Structure 1
Amino acid sequence: MVVRDTAGLVVPLGLPLLILVMNGLGDGGGEVIPGTDGRTVFDVYVLPLTLTVVVAMVGVVNMPSFLAHHRRSGVLRRLGVTPAHPAMVLIAQALVGAAQTLLGAAVAVGVAVAAFDATPPAEPLRAVALLVPVVAALYAVGTLVAAVAPTTNAAVAIGLVLFLGMGAGGGMFGPRENLPDPVATVGEFLPFGASVEVLGAAWVGTPVAAGHLFALVGATLLAGAGAARFFRWS
């Protein structure tokens, strides 16, 4: 069902790639940041932001719309009379989304390295490992949206509001330092902002702040529990 939805496949890959290219062609992306072993603004800020956008687009917008469509079209109602547990359905959809996310991340990093001479992460395995809590947190938010949204349009609307709201506070539309201090602080510890910070640290090879990891784990547990509690078959 996901493969048949052309827009659902293209948009989560195309939009982050557009953000990556526009930032790569803009001024200032090639400036080297002191103390990062020669890494540039593009490496430390743009790439982590792009990867977070990929995960958030798939997890918070795309996945809930698919699940809401399954509910609306009666697919979930038919599954409800089988031994399938709601968690099985949510996990299956999350795994499909994870495959889509890995594809989007691979495309983004490939274009960044080939077209803009981006530097790979200082510790690639650590960066991949830190991508796990990022995916878990944003996907948990998406499953909560899917659990409560009554229709496909509602799921898309709620997902977009959350995506844009978290993105605005997390630096998607400009440096977080330009935001009012209370907004910047809250945005830093929402799943989007915390994800950018975690992936940025992974790219440079510096220790990840415990507060950012706690924020991701907390979002995963709270949103995941809410999704399992409020999930409806029809």
Structure 2
Amino acid sequence: MTIVETKLFLRDPSAPITVLGIPLALLVVFGLIPSANEPSPDFGGNSLLANLIAPLAVAILLGMLAVTIFPTAIATYREKGVLRRLSASPASPRLLLTAQLLVNVAAALVVVLLIVGIGIAVLGVEAPGNPAGFVISVVLGAASLFCIGLLIAALAPTGRAAGGIGSAVFFPMLALGGVWVPKEHLPTFLQWAADALPMGATYNAMRSTWAGGAPEPVQLLSMSVFALLCAVLAARLFRWV
């Protein structure tokens, strides 16, 4: 099942191009700006690429896969009756759900490694100063965002509805999470959202760990709570038909 879903994922050029192209293009375009890779006191001695752009590319990648592409695929299967037919066969619909998760998580892992590898080897971006903290931030962030996507997939009756709900969740999280505008530049009354929402918590935790610091407790708590809460709700509300 996972092999079949992988082939279907790669056969549709829009998903791989979007998942691979947007984050890497963002990194490379900013990497071509000479001043982007110079240490700056505004970023604690780190460069713009290391402090903002590379974590931004990873956050956008995780968000696109988890909140829009993954739930749209599952909801499309529901809309076309694939889940209903699988429920009457020896292949449990849960296998399809697991296969979809594995494919999307694997795609995320590959692109994250490419972003970090190309950034360090080709563009001269500093390596994450706290590698363990960075990995923890990526794993918890991916878990929270994919569980949100799972909840969307549990509720959306059609692929178009899942895409609409995903976009309605994705773009506000970008704006309020300090992704488009760094959280320190947000209005004071909105800065709490940058660490309380899962997208912002993921992005800002990666920023901190790339600079050699540690994720803030509120960021870790946010990602953990969203992952647990959305997973429980999705399990209770998920419909196969």
Normalised TM-score (structure 1):
0.89
Whole-angstrom distance in 2 between the partners of 1:173 and 1:45: 10
After superposition, the C-alpha distances for 1:9-42 in whole angstroms (9 at most, x for unaligned) are 2112211222223333447523424598853121
Q: Which residue of 1 aligns with 2:236?
A: 229
Partner SS, residue 71 of structure 2: helix
What aligned pairs does 1:29-68 form with structure 2 within 5 A after superposition? Answer: 29-34=36-41, 39-68=46-75
Give, as a single letter, the amino acid of the residue that structure 2 aligns with 1:39. N
8 Å Cα contact 2:133-2:209 kept in structure 1: yes
Match of 2:81 among 61, 74, 78: 74
What aligned pairs does 1:64-213 form with structure 2 within 5 A after superposition? Answer: 64-82=71-89, 88-213=95-220
After superposition, the C-alpha distances for 1:59-106 in whole angstroms (9 at most, x for unaligned) are 111101110111112211122234666655433322111101012112
Aligned-residue offset at 1:216: 0.1
Change (3 A) 1:28 1:170: farther
Partner SS, residue 62 of structure 1: helix
Q: Which residue of 2 aligns with 1:13?
A: 20
Q: % of aligned pairs identical?
A: 34
8 Å Cα contact 2:72-2:163 kept in structure 1: yes
Change (3 A) 1:162 1:37: closer
Change (3 A) 1:160 1:48: same
Aligned-residue offset at 1:150: 0.9
After superposition, the C-alpha distances for 1:155-198 in whole angstroms (9 at most, x for unaligned) are 11111121111011123322233332222321331011000111
8 Å Cα contact 1:63-1:97 kept in structure 2: yes
8 Å Cα contact 2:133-2:215 kept in structure 1: no
More divergent stretch after superposition (67-76 vs 87-96): 87-96
Whole-angstrom distance in 1 between the partners of 2:96 and 2:224: 22
Partner SS, residue 92 of structure 1: helix
Structure 1, unpaired ranges of 5+: none
More divergent stretch after superposition (46-55 vs 170-179): 170-179
Normalised TM-score (structure 2):
0.87
More divergent stretch after superposition (88-97 vs 162-171): 88-97
Q: Which residue of 2 aligns with 1:3?
A: 10
Structure 2, unpaired ranges of 5+: 1-7
More divergent stretch after superposition (9-18 vs 75-84): 75-84
Give, as a single letter, the amino acid of the residue that structure 2 aligns with 1:154. A
Change (3 A) 1:198 1:158: same
